[in-house]
Amino acid sequence: MNIEVWQGDITDLDVDAIVNAANESLLGGGGVDGAIHRAAGPGLLEECRQLPELRPGVRCPTGEVRATGGHRLKARHVLHTVGPVWRDGHHDEPALLANCYWQSLKLAEQMGLHSIAFPAISCGVFGYPLHQAARIAATETLAWQKSHAVPKRILLVAYNEATAKALQQAVLMAQRESNAA
């Protein structure tokens, strides 16, 4: 088992699920969220609108996940998670970000999904420092794979070379630490 790092457009992947780094409304936004909504077509927005609001404007709190269909995507499902906005690292950001990965994998397992692709959650407009976020992504996904049979294939998707390098370094470091433990 290993974690794959892939550079490119997450909306092009033919996997059971892609993870959307969403905002709490789940109604689309910038970055990967906007790209996923555009590629999936209007059906995704309509399905998101049908999800219950927990409070005005909030369909998915930070650190949680909600599932929808993939609509026009090759991926059969979209798992929407809301990463933390980086403040200073002392407002539970690491735990909330780790929860995004863990809860997405847990839901994928419950849904019987065998492949899942994650973007670099919170690294865009939410301002999470790339190397710290990559470390959490690698550590959480590797820990999941060591103790769970599915999803068997986990991809960390980078939209540019700098993100790909950070993710690759983080995966190698997490694997080394895991093997040493």
pLDDT by residue (tens digit) across 26-36?
999 999 999 99
Per-residue pLDDT at 181: 73
- Give catalytic residues, as residue numbers: 33
Return phi, psi of residue 139, to 5°: -65, -45
Which has the closest alpha carbon to 172: 125, 139, 132? 139
Contact between 119 and 157 (Cβ < 8 Å): yes
Per-residue pLDDT at 1: 58
* Domain extents in the chain: 3-180
Tens of pLDDT along 68-101? 999 999 999 999 999 999 999 889 999 999 999 9
Residue 155 pairs in a beta bridge with 4, 117
Per-residue pLDDT at 36: 98
Indicate the average pLDDT of the chain.
97
Answer whether 0.85 is exceeded by the pTM: yes
Per-residue pLDDT at 179: 86
Q: 3-180 adopts what CATH topology?
A: Leucine Aminopeptidase, subunit E; domain 1 (3.40.220)
Per-residue pLDDT at 11: 98
Tell me the helix, strand and coil percentages in the chain, rounded to 5. 45, 20, 40
Per-residue pLDDT at 47: 98
Place of tokens 């630490």: 177
Q: Please give the structure tokens belonging to residue 49.
A: 């609108």
Query: In the chain, which stretches have pLDDT less than 50?
Result: none
